[in-house]
Structure 1
Amino acid sequence: MMRHVMLLAVFAVLGSFSAGCGPATDDPAPETGAPTTEQLPSEEATPDDGEVTQMARNCQTTCSGVKATGESCSVIGFGSTTFLGGCTKACRFARADADANASSSGCILSTCSDVCR
Structure 2
Amino acid sequence: MKRPVLWLALLGVLGIVSLSCGPAAPDGQETPPGETSETLSSEELSSEAMDDAEFARNCKVTCTGKTSSGADCGVVGFGSTTFLGGCSKACRFARRDADAKAATYGCQLWDCSEICR
TM-score normalised by length of structure 2:
0.57
Q: Deviations over 1:32-59 (max 9, x none)?
A: xxxxxxxxxxxxxxxxx44231201000
Kindly provide the amino acid, as one letter, of the partner of residue 60 in structure 1. Answer: K
**Count of paired positions:** 69
Correspondence 1:66 to 2:81: no
Q: Determine the structure 1 residue equivalent to 2:105.
A: 105
SS of the residue 1:94 aligns to? helix
Q: Distance in 1 between matches of 2:104 and 2:61?
A: 17
TM-score normalised by length of structure 1:
0.57
SS of the residue 1:80 aligns to? strand
Kindly provide the amino acid, as one letter, of the partner of residue 107 in structure 1. Answer: C
Correspondence 1:91 to 2:91: yes
Query: Could you tell me how far 1:85 is from its partner in structure 2?
Result: 1.0
Q: Determine the structure 1 residue equivalent to 2:17.
A: none
Segments ≥4 residues shifted beyond 3 Å? none
Q: Distance in 1 between matches of 2:70 and 2:95?
A: 23
SS of the residue 1:88 aligns to? helix
Query: Could you tell me how far 1:84 is from its partner in structure 2?
Result: 2.1
RMSD: 0.9
* Structure showing the higher helix proportion among its residues: 2
Kindly provide the amino acid, as one letter, of the partner of residue 100 in structure 2. Answer: A
The alignment-based identity, stated in percent, is 58
